[in-house]
A and B are shown apart, each in its own frame.
Chain A
Amino acid sequence: MKYLVCISKTPETTAKIAFKDGNSTFDTDGVQFILNPYDEWYALVKAIELKEANGGTVTVINVGGAGNDTIIRKALAIGADEAVRVNADAKSGFFVAKQIAEYAKANQFDLILLGKETIDYNGSEVGAMVAEFMELPYLSYGTDLQINEGVATIKRDIEGGSETSKTSLPLVVSAAKGMAEQRIPNMRGIMMAKRKPLNVIEPVACEDLSIVVSYSLPAGKSSVKMIDPENMDELVRLLQEEAKVI
């Protein structure tokens, strides 16, 4: 089996969010980037688990600039066998999905795994787009995945519960919490990662169909109103009359 895992980078959650060039660009100055948790903890580890159980290879793919090689090496250290970086600025989910789909079509994977979303823009779009470009089934928010004689059984999160589906391979799946357990790279993994192949390829032509043109900051919360703990009637009154939420 050949597994492809799509990995992205995202600012670390405590990063300061600021913009430059007239609020048109995210200011990455001093921002630390991490491997997107859903990609790292769930999608990647699930692919590695499947490979450990059934054999095969795990390839990770990222669409981004050379600055992303650090997170790609981390994925290799966790256990991916090889990596591909599509050398382009990822400006839209559509562009990213097109690049991934082109590579995947040419290289025939049985299973394409993604994170359920990136934690910065929460797009949750790329998986469905890759699946559509490739005309494959897509199951989102997977929390469990079993493959038996070419049939995949996927349990996925839906509002208020879960849904279990069966489908054929090849297949695109996005992974949510529950799909696998986080793995911390060990020293041996980190050393081996340095020798694993990281191929850089050039993008195929693709227009961005939608892009961010500007950023703004939300209206700041007015400072908190402290309520006397002895007077919960007052809190209830405020919730009813001022906030109008109950």
Chain B
Amino acid sequence: MVLVFAESQNGQFKKTAFEAVTYGKKSAEILGTTCEAIVIGKAENPAQLGQYGANKVHHLTGSGFNSFDSQSYSNGIAGVAERMGAKLIVVSHTSTGKSVLGRLSVKLNAGSVSGVNHLPESKEGSICVKKNVFSGKAIAEYKINTPNAVFSLMGNTLKPEQSGTDAELIEVQLEDTTVKTEVVSVDLQQGSAAPLPEAELVVSAGRGMKGPENWGIIEDLANVLGATTACSRPVADTGWRPHHEHVGQTGVAIRPNLYIAAGISGAIQHLAGVNNSKTIVVINKDPEAPFFKAADYGVCADLFDVVPRLTEAIKKAKG
């Protein structure tokens, strides 16, 4: 059985949860088994995960699961995995998923691979899987040396696919007394756009913007697309934009479907965080800007002309 930990926030499933269940279902087909999901704490209609391929949904509630604690969460997941004989456990490559991945590997003595972005393969009886390494400059294939494995799934690896019906729901009430961590506050940025690590569309700008007062054209473009805004490091370092927008080697690593970069030169450290985007559009007035080499589409012109024109063109196309 493939067991997928589907994360929710304030009771709502995150997009990454549907991706993970879809991935779990496809993995189960490859490994010749079925897919089940595990949901922890408050969650609205857990049975809906059946639509993405889970046959059963184990819903864990109890004192240890009211807020995130990596120990109680991994105890809960490992308990279900052991009871059901899970061969593969899939979590999302998020702050929560990454905090339990290593614990599950140790608890279950299961080989782990973090940030997978390919489906697993079964080779001579062993599970193998690939992920990107060296800032997207290479792909590494891992072999699992144990009968069971734990993966964290990179966001935007595949699109959630809905086909089935609601799953059988199994309510599990557990009192976990091991909880040592208490969440005292959660502070989420306001705004309708998806947070950067999960965003499918990202509009980003760099020092070519000349100053923070010019960001209106970037926000307009992001708004017509429903995209999240990002920036290069010097822009965040000088306080033109908030730090959480900084992408790159030392900032957030993203892999949206579309990354539009205006007035960013494309330094290697910047590319390290955005290289895995599916489609890259670069707007830069310097034809020699290194970013053009990593781009799919390039516009060599003054961004102050091009960006508003692109916004208009999108508005027009969207009717």
Q: Does B140 contact A (CB under 8 A)?
A: yes
B288: A residues at CB distance < 8 A: none
Interface centre among A11, A168, A212, by most chain B C-beta atoms within 10 angstroms, is: A212
B294: A residues at CB distance < 8 A: 221
- State the Cβ distance, A105 to closest chain B Cβ, in Å: 14
Q: Does A102 contact B (CB under 8 A)?
A: no
Given the interface contacts A17-B137, A128-B100, A129-B105, does A243 sit within 8 Å of B258 by beta carbon? yes
CA distance A159 to B185 in the complex (A): 14
CA distance A211 to B146 in the complex (A): 11
Contact of B132 with A218 in the complex, beta carbons under 8 Å: yes
B139: A residues at CB distance < 8 A: 215-218
- State the Cβ distance, A31 to closest chain B Cβ, in Å: 11
Which of A14, A37, A160, A246 interacts with B189 by CB under 8 Å?
Answer: A160
CA distance A126 to B106 in the complex (A): 10
Q: Does A56 contact B (CB under 8 A)?
A: no
CA distance A225 to B276 in the complex (A): 18
Which of B142, B195, B278 interacts with A212 by CB under 8 Å?
Answer: B142
- State the Cβ distance, A205 to closest chain B Cβ, in Å: 14
A209: B residues at CB distance < 8 A: 105, 109-112, 144-146
Given the interface contacts A236-B314, A245-B279, does A94 sit within 8 Å of B141 by beta carbon? no
Q: Does B170 contact A (CB under 8 A)?
A: no
Given the interface contacts A225-B298, A235-B297, A236-B314, does A19 sit within 8 Å of B138 by beta carbon? yes
Q: How many residues in B have their beta carbons less than 8 Å from beta carbons of A?
A: 95
The B interface is mostly helix, strand or loop, or mixed, namely mixed
Which of B22-30, B36-44, B67-75, B81-89 is the contact stretch?
A: B67-75
B169: A residues at CB distance < 8 A: none
Identity of the chain B residue whose Cβ is nearest the Cβ of A18 in the assembled complex: B138
- State the Cβ distance, A152 to closest chain B Cβ, in Å: 9
CA distance A87 to B70 in the complex (A): 30
A119: B residues at CB distance < 8 A: 135, 249, 272
Q: Does B213 contact A (CB under 8 A)?
A: no
- Proximity string of chain B (246-269) to chain A, C-beta cutoff 8 Å, 1 when within and 0 when not: 100111010001100000000011
CA distance A119 to B137 in the complex (A): 12
- State the Cβ distance, A242 to closest chain B Cβ, in Å: 9
Which of A47-55, A78-86, A187-195, A226-234 is the contact stretch?
A: A226-234
Q: Does A157 contact B (CB under 8 A)?
A: yes
B128: A residues at CB distance < 8 A: 213
Given the interface contacts A165-B182, A210-B145, does A141 sit within 8 Å of B111 by beta carbon? no
Q: Does A140 contact B (CB under 8 A)?
A: yes
Q: Does B133 contact A (CB under 8 A)?
A: yes
Interface centre among B249, B278, B279, by most chain A C-beta atoms within 10 angstroms, is: B279
Contact of B305 with A207 in the complex, beta carbons under 8 Å: no
Q: Does A203 contact B (CB under 8 A)?
A: no
Given contacts A210-B145, A238-B297, 11 further A-B contacts (CB under 8 A): A93-B102, A97-B102, A121-B140, A124-B98, A125-B98, A128-B102, A138-B99, A153-B184, A213-B142, A214-B140, A215-B138
30 interchain pairs (CB within 8 A)? Answer: A11-B134, A14-B268, A17-B138, A122-B114, A124-B98, A124-B115, A125-B105, A125-B112, A126-B102, A128-B70, A129-B106, A131-B70, A139-B99, A140-B70, A156-B95, A158-B186, A160-B198, A164-B185, A166-B184, A210-B146, A211-B145, A216-B141, A217-B138, A222-B296, A224-B296, A229-B306, A232-B312, A232-B313, A233-B317, A236-B316
A-B pairs with lowest CB-CB distance, top 6: A128-B102, A160-B195, A210-B111, A229-B301, A209-B111, A161-B188
Chain A residues with a Cβ under 8 A of chain B: 11, 13-14, 17, 19, 37, 93-94, 97, 119-133, 137-141, 153, 156-168, 177-178, 207-218, 221-222, 224-227, 229, 232-233, 235-240, 243, 245-246
